[in-house]
């Protein structure tokens, strides 16, 4: 039974979009009636570990394998999936962790290209096949990567994947954008920006009487320890046009931490189209941390 008009309105859109937009990845604390959503490549491993700690689920005690494996194979079986009713209910406190789309786009590029380079991806993936057919994988630059994506997904079929690190995906769900367009608010009580993690968690703690604290999850697998950041920026280099292979140093990828050096005016415009909804919903602009 719907208790308010707004609740009915939100439910009307959540139900058909539930499986498509991956609400099932959300985590819940049923006792405290708190839901956390997260974005891939937005410190997701650390914030998931933080949420688990609040449920007394500890690394090396309750799970020894990778945290995402535990989440997918065990956590949901033990604690249940978040339901559409819970997402819509005003009785549940909901927050979502997001990251600057411009910064995240750089990580998405290196993450995808790294897995292609090391052949971790299944070749049946359509977007990855487009990358491989377009040119030698090691020659794809940041700019070329997103041009391929834009031409073959956004422009051609309007398709923007939403489900995993494997894709250059939006962080927002259709229901979030629809509510924004209808001026109906948000399904989330608070948006947490990775760039302001401590201060945003402080606000959540005040509102929920919880004690969420940032956690550095310990990565044990060399599969995940494949990057390092070069703090020295070479002004004459156009990082956005450099081939992927130019960032390979031995067995690691080494690239500047400052995402802005990868962007030209053209690339900024292109990415602003691809991630338009995220930029508006989460109030980001180019140049933000």
261 shares a domain with 142: yes
Could you give the CA distance from residue 228 to residue 259 in angstroms, rounded to a whole number?
14
| Side-chain-facing half-sphere of 184: CA atoms under 13 Å | 18
Q: What is the model's pLDDT at position 17? A: 47
146 shares a domain with 256: yes
159 shares a domain with 236: yes
Low-confidence ranges of the chain (pLDDT < 70): 1-22, 118-135, 154-168, 217-226, 231
Q: What is the model's pLDDT at position 131? A: 57
91 shares a domain with 10: yes
- Structural domain includes residue 215: no
195 shares a domain with 53: yes
27 shares a domain with 160: no
* φ/ψ of residue 251, rounded to 5: -105, 5
132 shares a domain with 56: no
pTM over 0.75: yes
Burial 12-41 (b: 16+ CB within 10 A, else e): ebbeebbeebbbebbbbbeeeebbbbbbbb
19 shares a domain with 82: yes
Instruction: Count the domains in the chain.
Output: 2
Cβ–Cβ under 8 Å, residues 270 and 127: no
162 shares a domain with 180: no
The parent domain of residue 125 ranges over 101-168+222-279
pLDDT 10s digits, 95-152 = 999 999 999 999 989 988 887 776 654 444 555 555 555 557 788 899 999 998 888 7
């Amino acid at each position: 039974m719907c208790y308010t008009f707004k609740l009915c309105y939100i439910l009307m859109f959540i139900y058909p979009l539930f499986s498509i937009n991956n609400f099932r990845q959300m985590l819940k604390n049923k006792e405290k009636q708190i839901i956390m959503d997260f974005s891939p490549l937005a410190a997701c491993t650390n914030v998931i570990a933080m949420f688990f700690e609040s449920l007394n689920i500890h690394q090396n005690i309750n799970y020894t394998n990778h945290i995402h494996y535990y989440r997918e194979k065990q956590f949901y079986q033990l604690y249940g999936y978040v339901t559409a009713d819970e997402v819509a209910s005003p009785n549940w406190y909901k927050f979502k962790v997001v990251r600057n789309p411009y910064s995240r786009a750089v990580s998405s590029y290196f993450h995808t290209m790294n897995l292609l380079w090391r052949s971790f991806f299944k070749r049946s993936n359509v977007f990855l096949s487009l990358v491989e057919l377009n040119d030698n994988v090691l020659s794809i630059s940041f700019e070329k990567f997103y041009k391929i994506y834009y031409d073959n997904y956004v422009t051609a079929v309007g398709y923007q994947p939403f489900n995993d690190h494997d894709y250059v995906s939006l962080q927002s769900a259709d229901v979030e954008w629809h509510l924004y367009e209808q001026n109906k608010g948000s399904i989330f009580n608070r948006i947490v920006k990775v760039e302001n993690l401590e201060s945003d968690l402080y606000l959540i703690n005040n509102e929920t009487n919880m004690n969420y604290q940032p956690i550095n999850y310990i990565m044990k697998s060399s599969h995940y320890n494949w990057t390092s950041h070069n703090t020295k920026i070479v002004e004459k280099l156009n990082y956005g046009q450099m081939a992927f292979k130019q960032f390979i140093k031995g067995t690691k990828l080494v690239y500047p931490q400052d995402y802005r050096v990868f962007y030209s005016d053209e690339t900024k415009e292109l990415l602003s189209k691809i991630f338009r909804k995220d930029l508006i919903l989460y109030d980001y602009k180019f140049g933000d941390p």
